[in-house]
Structure formats: structure tokens, C-alpha cells
Amino acid sequence: MLAPEYGGDGGKKVGVCADKQGPIAAFPAHWAPNALLAYRGGQFPTAYHGGFFIAFHGSWDRAPFPQSGYNVVFQPAKNGKPAGDFIAFADGFAGGAKEPGGAAHRPSGLAQGPDGALYVSDDTNGRIWRITYHGDIAQGLEAAPAPAQTAGRAKEAGPPEGVNPEAGALEGKSLPVPPGATDAQVALGERIFNGHAAGGTCASCHGANGKGAPLAPDLTSGKWLWSDGSLESIREVIAQGVAKPKEYRSPMPPKGGAQLSDSDVAAVAAYVWAIGHQNK
């Protein structure tokens, strides 16, 4: 279908796409494939022979949907062509935060060893994984279990790594509290903003901790494009959205496209006010 930025209507209009060759395999939008490896080894089960491993670096612009990817998938193939749906082969690289500013690791490269082992490299903290198989060669394809979700952020890696649910959340810095709000509201707002509560999507466009991204402004600078910087004006912008941005191409849907309650919006507003006034 034709994308909206090229004249599409959001799902029906085909336009010039009718003259284009369709994909031989489809994957979720914005996962950012960084490496493709045709598996020619003999260590993994027969079902993997001749198929393709793909390293997805992970998204930064899926708003208002949560960021995703940050994994390695396997695409079955027969005679060099995709045959069936892909499966998640290895996941959990990002740790507690699937977004560029908080991901512990991001898959970026793939290689096959002489013994058939699969190597996965990470360009965030320089880790390399060696994946081996010891078992029945007749075992079929099996998707990796979904990674456990944590309420906090991923720890900055440094061998030997671990995942700290609280790492990266403003590094323990104390934020100012807006008049009429509470510390608890600011803390809840931080969690919603960064996608750790209430399905918040703010960081998808504004970046981790509101420090800005190509889709939306830095909220820590103290510069306000659509409000006067007061708590109430920030709350109104969050609730109503921004249909026609002044300096960015993508509109902001009301509540960032998330199903936020009035109390959730108030908490996010308190957090945005806090990070915008922390250096004053």
C-alpha cells in the first residue's frame, strides 16, 4: 500500500506501489535489520539448514506503538527462498528497556563459526555471544521465550554484565516538584514517560528521559514550543496533542496515542515540568 507521506490513505490506496515487486518476506516496521546470515552449518537442527538469521538493531520511531526489535530472528527457507513465517531465535538483548537510550545491548552483526556455531555482536557495549546447539538434530524450529519484563531501565553493561531495573532512571538525580504536584507524581510520570507503566509512549518520540530525538524536541532544555512552561499548559498539550508541529514532521496524538487516565496525564505533566526546570 502507499504510505501516507506519499499520498496514501492509511491502508487502502495502492497507487504507484501496484507497479512494484512485493517483498519475498515481511517483518515488523522499523525493527532495523543490520545483518543477514545464510546458515550453512551443520551444528543446528536440520530445520535451520539453508535458512536465514537476521539481526535487528531495534527501533526508535514506532510511536505511538512501543519500540521493538532488538533481537535475532530466523527465517526458514527452501531452495534459497523464504518458506513460512520467521521466528524469534534470540531475544532479551535490550534488557529492561527496548529503546535506544536504555537498551543494554543491540544486535548488529552475525557470523558463523567453522563448527556451525552462531556469533552475534552488539554495538552498544561491545559484547559478542556464541550460540551453540547440543541435542537432537531432528528437533524442529522453536521460538525463543519472550524476555521477562522489568519495571525499570537496563543497566549500562560492563563485563560481567547484569540487568539492574533501576539503572538509567536519571541516575538518582533529584528533580524539582512543580507547585501543586508531589514527588510520587513526578516518579510515576517518569515511569509512564519511559514506557514502564500505563503503556506510555512518550520516549518513543522524545527519547529516553525526554532528551530529544529526530521526531520530537528535547524537553529538558527549558524551551517550550506549545506551552508557557506552566504545569497546567503542559498537561493541556499532553491531553490534546499537537496536530501540526512547528519544527518537527510528525504530529503528536492526544496522550501520545496511549490510553492514559487523567491522573496518568497529570503525572506525565509533572515529570515533563520537572525535567524542563531541573537546571533552573
The confidence score (pLDDT) of residue 197 equals 85
**Coil, strand or helix at 107:** strand
Domains 29-131 and 175-277 share a fold: no
pLDDT at 159 over 60: no
With contact defined as beta carbons under 8 Å apart, do 145 and 178 qualify? no
- Domain 29-131: CATH class, spelled out: mainly beta
Cβ-based neighbours of 147, under 8 Å, separated by 6 or more: 91, 92, 94
175-277 falls under which CATH superfamily?
Cytochrome c-like domain (1.10.760.10)
pLDDT number for residue 253: 86
Residue 250 has pLDDT above 90, yes or no: no
- The per-residue pLDDT for 157 is 38
pLDDT band at 222 (very low <50, low <70, confident <90, very high): confident
Q: Which residues contact 20 (CB under 8 A, 6 or more apart)?
A: none
Neighbours of 250 (CB within 10 A): 15
Is the pLDDT at 205 greater than 50, yes or no?
yes
**Residue 232 pLDDT > 50, yes or no?**
yes
**Domain limits, the chain:** 29-131, 175-277
Q: How confident is the model at residue 35 (pLDDT cuts 50, 70, 90)?
A: very high
Instruction: State the pLDDT confidence band at 166, using cuts at 50, 70 and 90.
Output: very low
Q: How confident is the model at residue 173 (pLDDT cuts 50, 70, 90)?
A: low
Q: Per mean pLDDT, which of 54-68, 126-140, 151-165 is the most reliable?
A: 126-140
Measured distance CA(71)–CA(118) in Å, rounded: 14
Nearest to 196 by CA among 158, 227, 151, 239: 151
Q: Minimum mean pLDDT among 39-48, 71-80, 139-148, 265-274: which range?
A: 139-148
Mean pLDDT along residues 64-81: 89
